[in-house]
Amino acid sequence: MTKLDGSLTDAWLSLGIAFIAEAKPIEAIPPLETYVKLQPANPAGHYQLAMAYSRAGRKEDAKREAAQQRETAEKIERQKAANAPRPTGTAEPPAPPK
């Protein structure tokens, strides 16, 4: 296994993706597990790890990571929606008559 600086999180993800591309899912699992430990809020890592688990025959682990990927992606979308600027120039609806 290649030794990498643990702070280089993108390197862990890239190494795992490279192993998946080379049809080596078992080798992809350790770097992807490291990545999701370092970046648990990034859905990309969970997705890639789910693929590696699935291709390695670890179906339950794959299901768990796929669920984690969906959860983290939904959380990001909720945060984006909450932080989205409101369109300018739109009037507030009139108050109902009293």
Residue 3: what pLDDT? 59
Residues of the chain short of pLDDT 70, as ranges, are: 1-7, 87, 89-94
Reading the block at residue 30, the tokens are: 């350790």
What is the SS3 assignment for 39-79? CCCCHHHHHHHHHHHHHCCCHHHHHHHHHHHHHHHHHHHHH
Q: List, in order of start, the domains of the chain with CATH numbers.
A: 25-80 (1.25.40)
> How many C-beta atoms lie closer than 10 Å to residue 56's C-beta?
16
pLDDT digits (tens, 9 = 90+) for 31-56: 999 999 999 999 999 999 999 999 99
Query: Is the dihedral angle over the CA atoms 1, 30, 14, 41 positive or is it negative?
Result: negative
Reported pTM:
0.77
DSSP character at residue 93: P
